Each structure stands twice: as structure tokens, then as C-alpha cells.
A and B are shown apart, each in its own frame.
Chain A
Amino acid sequence: MPTGKNIYRPVRAKLTDVIVESPTIKTFVLIPEEEFSFKTGQFIELSVDGIGEAPFTPSSSPLVKEKIEVTVMKTGYVTEYMHNMKPGSYMGLRGPYGRGYPVEKFYDKEILILGGGCGFAPIRSLLYNLAAITDKLRKVTLCYGSKTPEDCIYKPYISELRKIPKFEVYRSVDKGDSNWTERVGVVTVLLDDVKVDISNSVAVVCGPPVMMKFGTLKLLQMGYPEHDIYLSMEKNMSCGLGKCGHCMMGKYFVCKDGPVFTYDEIKDQPNIWN
């Protein structure tokens, strides 16, 4: 066996809790057997033993080192296995990989965050990070959209967020019900409600590709400069190492050069929205 760090070998992590967030989304609480830390917005490769591996951005605070939380939507072969896993079993972790959110660049600014569906997962990690440094920030505005009230994730956390000074939370659903008191419509309608000083603001977008596309277009219309719109890109990040080629987006390996890019970095690359 060659000596040195084997970049392909995962660290085992014990699954200690499974939190049901919605009918299709669960959060897995993991305790790695080896020291493991990440910066917010970076991603990991999470594997089910002998089944497969998939990339996820942790949804927990990067400041908490002893555990890691990963929020997973059931959408394919591997995630279906994950959704059937019970506490006490083990998963594999590789990473962290890529370039996350440049939190230091957000200091003294208003941060407008636009999230959709399971795209709230990386955003929650960012929000945990921002909540720990509110004295360095002007304002944090979260606009979060989901399909239905039932699909809204992190409901207890939303209540916590609304109590944090300088934080504002807006939510929408595509289709409401009799108990829903917030906005109805696609998530971009929330941008009509927010008050933000664009000249001293950055925007963060994370969600399904179609939402990323129209969210970005709306932010550009509002006057956000291209270099102040941060996008967390979703591609087939298979190795996480900038080698396997599956996540190539033009000249970028999304896994290594991203997954967080500013819009001006990627606007001329192919297939950014699919």
C-alpha cells in the first residue's frame, strides 16, 4: 500500500439521529470516527456502505466540531437507501471539498439569502455561521420558498431565526393551505417584499436549478452586481477531488473550484442551470 493520505478512503461516521424534516427530506446526525471539520458551503461525499456515494453540503454549523448534520432529499438510488437507515448504523464521509462561502467578504454588509427546497441545507449552515458573528454584519434577510407548507424544512429553526437581532425571515410556498399565513407564490415573489440596501449587500442563492436561474435573473434586475451574487452550484460531483471529470462546467471542476461561485465567474460557462 502506498504511504501517505489516501484521498479515496472515507472516514466512518456513526449515525446517531435521523430527523424527519418533510415527507421527502431527512437530516442525518453523524459523529465521525476521526476529526472532521468543514467551512460553511463546502461539501462532503457521503456514502452508504457498498451502495454508493453522493455529494452534500452539511446543514450544521461549521463551528460545531463533534458532529455533522447532513440534510438529504430522497431523489435517487443512494438517497433512498439513506432514508431507510436507522440510528446506530454507519455511513462513510470524505472531504470536506471545494470552496465554500467567503464569510469574511460579507462583513459590514447586508446579506440577502434566497433558498428553495432542500437548498436550505447549505444555507442553514451559513446562517449558523452568520448568527455567531452578528456584530460584524448589518443585516441578514432570508427568503425561503418551498412547494407546500408540508415541504417547508427546519420549522423549529425558522422560529429561532426570527428571534435573532438583525435577522429577517420571509417564506413562500407555491401552493398554500388554510393554515399558511405567509406568502404564496414562487420564491422570487419574496424579493418584492424585502428592503435591502443593494449598494452594500451581497446575495446568496441555493436551490433547484430552475429556482437558481430565475432567482439570479431577478437579483440582477434588482441591481445586484454580478460579482455580488453567490451561487452554490449543483453538479455531479463524484470524486470531489477535481479529477474524475463528472462535474465539469466549462473550465471549472465544480467540486474543486466551487461549489460556491459568483455569477460573474460562471455566467459564460455552459449549462450552468442544468
Chain B
Amino acid sequence: MEYFYTKKADWDDLLGRLLVSHDIFGPVAAENFQEYEHLDAATIPEVIYNKPKPASPLKIFFLPVKENVTAERPPEKPRIIIGVPSCDTEALGILDEVYLDSSFEDLFYRNRRQNTIIISSDCFDIAEHCHCTSYGVKPWDEKRADAAIAVRGDTVFLRLISEKGRKFINDSGVFSHVTDNTMISFIDARHRETESMLARANSRLPGYSETGTLVKESGQAVWVKHSATCVSCGACTTICPTCTCFLLIDKPGFHKVKQMDACQYPGFERTAGGEDPLGELHERFRNRYMCKYVWKPEKFKNIACTGCGRCIEACIGKIDKNKLFMELAI
């Protein structure tokens, strides 16, 4: 991998200059969490690097909660999103498969993908429910983003990933090529530390395909029991970096408004004739796990759960899917 470096102050100055031409987003601290902010000169130095993870998934930048997909609109400003954890960039795999499908390409998604530079952030720490490595995702990105950032003291290192990332680095004029690998040996060491922490935290958690088998083979009683506190709020799907379902709402003038939807909502699959395959709470609850661990893996090349753990954090019914899967694995 190719690395580049610059001083943290120069990195912040660069982002400050790019504010003229770009919308820049990055995670900053809130009360007891971090969340993406639309950055300005004052918040650029506050961006959190190398620590998981923003409360919202990356998909919010590509799949807005609600948008009119038929109305004329001005071009969107180019964007830079910094500090994105690898569980979120990994999720771009399945999002791209769904929305860039050559037979029905979503122009809005495509334009935003093309119009956005993603600077991932290596995770040098873990949060309570992080389990990316259990599903084969490294806590650092080497393939989905345009570059990945590691900050040490007053130095910023960028690992080059894409050609868009190369152009960004070249055009910036502030980065130097790392030629002495001892400068970046700490990055490899931190990667191994994070992997070890994740392995210890999730030693009993079954892997991705094993989870699929467990989910598929579990009977109705399991789903009735574990859905007991589910209130069908859809927080798990809304916060999920790989969930892509939506509703098309008709507006006058043959306009269509595309709005995020959730298989956890009653009526999600109901037809006009009245059939409703997901009419029962436990059916909807099971559907989400079957979708992520059984059906999507049969259909797509990319995984449908990247182990971010947000669905566990977001659940007001305190449903912990990892505890559920560990119970199934016993």
C-alpha cells in the first residue's frame, strides 16, 4: 500500500481551503457519542479520527431519508466525507450492487457516489458492539474508500486506495510520499491491536455464514421469544449501513418521493388483495435476519451485515442480535 503524510495543521488548513468548493462532513463529539457534522472552519480541528464510530451510517449521504426523485434540481456540490469507519465503507459493496445495477441504475445514487471523496478512518479502538472481524471485515479499509486516514501526534497519514484518492492527494499539494516504512509501522501495530480487541470481545460470536445457517434452522419459537420487546419502530433498519429498502410516494404532477422504509413496519409486504407474508411481529423480526444472513448472501456478492453493531445500540427494546446468535450457537 502507498502512504502519504502531512502535518495535522496542514491537513486542517487544506480542508479549510476546500470548504469553498466542497461540502465536507466528518464525525465530531456530541454528548456521549460522535456524529457526522457539516464541517466549517471551526469544527474541522474537532473531527474525531481512528475511533469508532459515528452514530449514523455512511448511507445517509447517498440515500437520503426522503427525496423527490422526479423533480428538477440544481447540481449538488462535490463532497468530502472524512472519518468513515470500514464497517460503513464495506457496506458500499451491497449498496452499489443494488443502486448501480446496470439494468436499473439510480442516477441520484450514482451521481453522489461519483461526486463524493471518502476518506476512511482506521479504527484504533473498538466500541461496545463492534464485531466487523467476525464477518470478515477488517477494522481498516483497503478497497472501498478513496483513501484512509491514520493520525499520530501532529502527523496525518493517508493510505491511498483509489484513483480518485490519488488525484485528491496530488491536487492537495500538502502531502509527501512515505518512503521510510518505519514511519508507518505504528499503523500495522495498531491494526493488530484492534483485531485482537475485536477477537477477544467477540470470541463466542458465530461467523457470517454460520449465523446464516443458525438463523435458517431456527424455529418460530425462537423468533417469537426474541421479538417480544420489538415495537416495530424500524430503528435497526434505519441505522443499518446495508439496509436499502424504500417506499415510493406519489405526488401531484406524477412526481415520486422516495422515502426510506423498513421491513419491520407492519404492512411492508402487504398486497392490495390482503395477503401479508410479514403480518406477524415475529415474522418481520425473522425476516430481517433471513434477509441479511441467508437471502442476500445467495443473491449478492457483498455481505449484508458488516458488524457495525448500530442495530443493537439503536434498539429501544434492548434486543441484542449478537446475544441472540450466541444463544443459537450453543
Whether the Cβ atoms of B107 and A248 lie closer than 8 Å is no
Encoded as 1 (CB less than 8 Å from any A CB) or 0, chain B from 179 to 191 comes to 0000000000000
Task: Specify the chain B residue showing the minimal Cβ separation from A11.
Answer: B254
Known contacts A1-B73, A79-B272, A251-B295; is-contact A244 B253 (Cβ 8 Å): no
- Nearest Cβ distance between residue B202 and chain A, in whole angstroms? 27
A225 beta carbon closer than 8 Å to chain B: no
Bound-state CA distance A170–B219 (Å) is: 43
The one of A2, A48, A49 that contacts B110, using a Cβ cutoff of 8 Å = A2
- Nearest Cβ distance between residue B59 and chain A, in whole angstroms? 13
Instruction: Tell me how many residues of B have a C-beta within 8 Å of chain A.
Output: 46
Chain A residues with Cβ under 8 A from B33's Cβ? none
The one of A7, A251, A270 that contacts B277, using a Cβ cutoff of 8 Å = A270
Whether the Cβ atoms of B107 and A3 lie closer than 8 Å is yes
Q: SS class of chain B's interface: helix, strand, loop or mixed?
A: loop
Task: Specify the chain B residue showing the minimal Cβ separation from A273.
Answer: B275
Known contacts A49-B250, A244-B261, A250-B295; is-contact A6 B69 (Cβ 8 Å): yes
Whether the Cβ atoms of A52 and B250 lie closer than 8 Å is yes
Whether the Cβ atoms of B254 and A92 lie closer than 8 Å is yes
Which residues, 1 to 39 on A, are CB-close (under 8 Å) to B? 1-10, 12
Whether the Cβ atoms of B269 and A2 lie closer than 8 Å is no
Bound-state CA distance A239–B103 (Å) is: 13
A271 beta carbon closer than 8 Å to chain B: yes
Q: SS class of chain A's interface: helix, strand, loop or mixed?
A: loop
Whether the Cβ atoms of B250 and A244 lie closer than 8 Å is no
Which residues, 42 to 91 on B, are CB-close (under 8 Å) to A? 69-70, 72-73, 75
Task: Specify the chain B residue showing the minimal Cβ separation from A79.
Answer: B272
Whether the Cβ atoms of B268 and A9 lie closer than 8 Å is no
Chain B residues with Cβ under 8 A from A208's Cβ? 273
Bound-state CA distance A69–B70 (Å) is: 25
Whether the Cβ atoms of A49 and B245 lie closer than 8 Å is no
Whether the Cβ atoms of B298 and A245 lie closer than 8 Å is no
Bound-state CA distance A238–B256 (Å) is: 12
B19 beta carbon closer than 8 Å to chain A: no
The one of B105, B250, B263, B271 that contacts A234, using a Cβ cutoff of 8 Å = B271
Chain B residues with Cβ under 8 A from A270's Cβ? 277, 290
B159 beta carbon closer than 8 Å to chain A: no
Whether the Cβ atoms of B248 and A239 lie closer than 8 Å is yes
B247 beta carbon closer than 8 Å to chain A: yes
Whether the Cβ atoms of A244 and B247 lie closer than 8 Å is yes
Whether the Cβ atoms of A238 and B106 lie closer than 8 Å is no
Bound-state CA distance A52–B290 (Å) is: 30
Bound-state CA distance A54–B269 (Å) is: 13
B167 beta carbon closer than 8 Å to chain A: no
Task: Specify the chain B residue showing the minimal Cβ separation from A117.
Answer: B273
Q: Could you pull out 29 A-B pairs where Cβ atoms are within 8 angstroms?
A: A5-B107, A8-B258, A9-B69, A10-B256, A49-B250, A49-B252, A49-B253, A49-B254, A76-B272, A77-B272, A92-B254, A208-B273, A234-B271, A234-B273, A235-B269, A236-B270, A236-B271, A238-B247, A241-B104, A242-B101, A243-B99, A243-B101, A244-B247, A245-B244, A245-B261, A247-B269, A250-B290, A251-B298, A270-B277
If A1-B75, A250-B290 are given as contacts, then 8 extra A-B residue pairs at C-beta distance below 8 Å, sorted by A number, are: A8-B70, A49-B252, A53-B250, A236-B271, A242-B101, A243-B244, A244-B247, A256-B103
The 5 closest A-B pairs by CB, nearest first: A245-B245, A76-B272, A271-B277, A50-B252, A2-B107
